[in-house]
Chains A and B, each alone.
Chain A
């Protein structure tokens, strides 16, 4: 099945901005991050179709996953 992945700021600079991604049914967000080769610590927020999601959420065909770097500061 296919999903779409969007990366932002430092994650985008490291890899890509947007891409179609093949994944297996039942695959969790955490394992997709692993496949991408992104250190988990670098990802602050995950959105599935624009809504906040947890690492162990299972993705569905056609989902749009957005990965945002950790934020903070002043």
Chain B
């Protein structure tokens, strides 16, 4: 990015550095691209979706589907959490009823985003696919960014973590984004994640990676025969001015991030605490999102788990929020043993109670397997939960290895098989599996993307999420937090605050900063770290346009505005009376919600997409 002072009215004064790599020929073209609008300036999916909108892509696994790696405006700065990188493309997993793929992005932290930004690049578009497996090296060269494609035969079959460690031995001063075996098996596994290295991982050699999991961007990378990306640059730490120091202090003190900070720091201990809070309402997913009003999940409460494991709070590069909860085995003498798993709400539930597994040691093992094979924990966990449910309903004709809830060893075998490409039934996600089996009512997905560990019975906002579940529509906790359940309240939440959730997936910061995207902290961060004066109202308007462009793109890819903007029908047809929160989602409620939300959004969506040529 140029460091011009910019007012919101002249985005073209900001220029970003793009490299387009044709994987078929190895050719790399560099360009300085002026921003078209504020979405381009803020970056992330706000920019990448404008590129995707210019393409007519009918199949995710086709040469015309690009894989876009980019950064956000604050990636690589000294603003706390400013290290996000984004992977975007048409998703193999998210698919409309017409068969066309939905556009997706996926993001993660770690130190890869910083290193990528410090190579001098803001965006890399990987076009076509390579004949043979390669990895890409992006580096900060003597005369600007340099790019090289190298043979990756030695990386084939390694876990994401092992690929990272193998490359780390070759490339000092670098960070890495790699796929695991799941991404390599892209034909039978559509839920491959991009695995990103952390400082802790490179230092300790332990698999403490971060993941850009949603939507199968790792599988798209696998299709392109791109096994890893190396971002090599000396650290270019931005000077922490007094103003940036104040921004970082406010991020830690504002209260928004406190719930993600370690308990030893006076914080809430990360998303893990959500289990105990949701259990108050018996709203923790159990046995495929069907809580039974029992206390089984309590074995996964933090104090219970601490009896068996040592919990260490760790962080990405220089982040004071320190939201990672890494569990270590305890040696017999009480000292810290091997890393067992990272433990956060999503994987904990989706590989624990939602599969009927309540023993923390077993849950750790399942999470660990999924991570090493490089799969999206949400998609895999939710698809396996469906399979177990199906098998329990059909004891006379179970599928695959016949696993049902709580069959830890068989579930472990399912994870391994999916990651190694042996179980396309699982690897292609719950939508396809449930349609093939003819039982879709309890398949927990919306628009082909599996639901995260918040019950759909509590969140009709899922239907307007554009990149899966809770990370692209911030309404997943509203009912438990506030008890709100009127139509007016839900229309208001979806059409105003909820959609702004995606703003963090533009600017390069982590959502765990925890303040609204138009907050004064963000405005100050942009001013101090990027040198741009952008008013809060302009940031909000830009994030809203980016979200609505994503929604418009869904309709253009064939998602039916009524039939596919819905929840699994079990929610409406068989409400779960064990959950003590209000039950308000009926077919009629959803129909009215759709009508009212579309009536707000549709006029604003006009003109946001370019007209496709031809």
A residues touching B (Cβ–Cβ < 8 Å)? 8-10, 12-13, 41-42, 44-45, 47, 50-52, 66, 68-74
Contacts and interface: CB of A to CB of B under 8 A. Distances in A.
B514 A72 contact: yes
Contacts of A13: 263, 303
A51 B479 CA distance: 11
Contacts of B276: 8-9, 12
Contacts of A66: 280
A9 to B, nearest CB: 4
5 contacts: A13-B263, A47-B280, A66-B280, A72-B477, A74-B471
A12 B205 CA distance: 36
Contact of A10 (B263, B271, B278, B280): B263
Interface stretch (B397-405, B480-488, B605-613): B480-488
B3 to A, nearest CB: 32
B269 A51 contact: no
B34 interface: no
A42 B269 contact: no
Contacts of A10: 259, 263, 267-269, 273
B392 interface: no
Nearest to B278: A71
Interface residues of B, number: 33
Nearest to B482: A52
A9 B280 CA distance: 11
A74 B483 contact: no
Contact of A74 (B277, B303, B452): B452
B258 interface: yes
Nearest to B510: A74
Nearest to B477: A71
Contacts of A68: 277, 280
Contact of B269 (A9, A44, A72): A9
B270 interface: yes
Nearest to B267: A10
The 6 closest A-B pairs by CB, nearest first: A52-B483, A73-B271, A9-B273, A9-B276, A41-B255, A10-B268
A74 B470 CA distance: 7
A68 B270 CA distance: 14
A39 to B, nearest CB: 8
Interface in B212-235: none
A41 B258 contact: yes
Nearest to A39: B255
Contacts of A74: 271, 345-346, 452, 470-471, 511
Contacts of B482: 45, 52
B512 interface: yes
B260 interface: yes
A71 B270 contact: no
Given A13-B263, A45-B482, A71 B273 contact: yes
Nearest to B323: A73
A59 B278 CA distance: 24
Given A9-B269, A41-B258, A50-B580, A73 B274 contact: yes
Contacts of B303: 13
B268 A70 contact: yes
A14 B240 CA distance: 34
B259 A70 contact: yes
A13 B301 CA distance: 12
B277 A45 contact: yes
Contacts of A12: 276
A47 B220 CA distance: 46
A32 to B, nearest CB: 18
A52 B489 CA distance: 15
Contact of B258 (A8, A42, A50, A51): A42
Nearest to B260: A73
Contacts of B345: 73-74
A45 B276 CA distance: 13
A18 to B, nearest CB: 13
With most chain B CB atoms within 10 A of its CB, the pick from A50, A69, A74 is A74
A55 to B, nearest CB: 12
Interface string B501-523: 00000000001101000000000
B273 A69 contact: yes
Contacts of B471: 74
Given A13-B303, A45-B481, A52-B482, A71 B269 contact: no
A72 B271 contact: yes
A5 to B, nearest CB: 14
Nearest to A41: B255
Given A10-B267, A10-B273, A71 B483 contact: no
A49 B251 CA distance: 35
A66 B483 CA distance: 14
A42 to B, nearest CB: 7
A69 B141 CA distance: 49
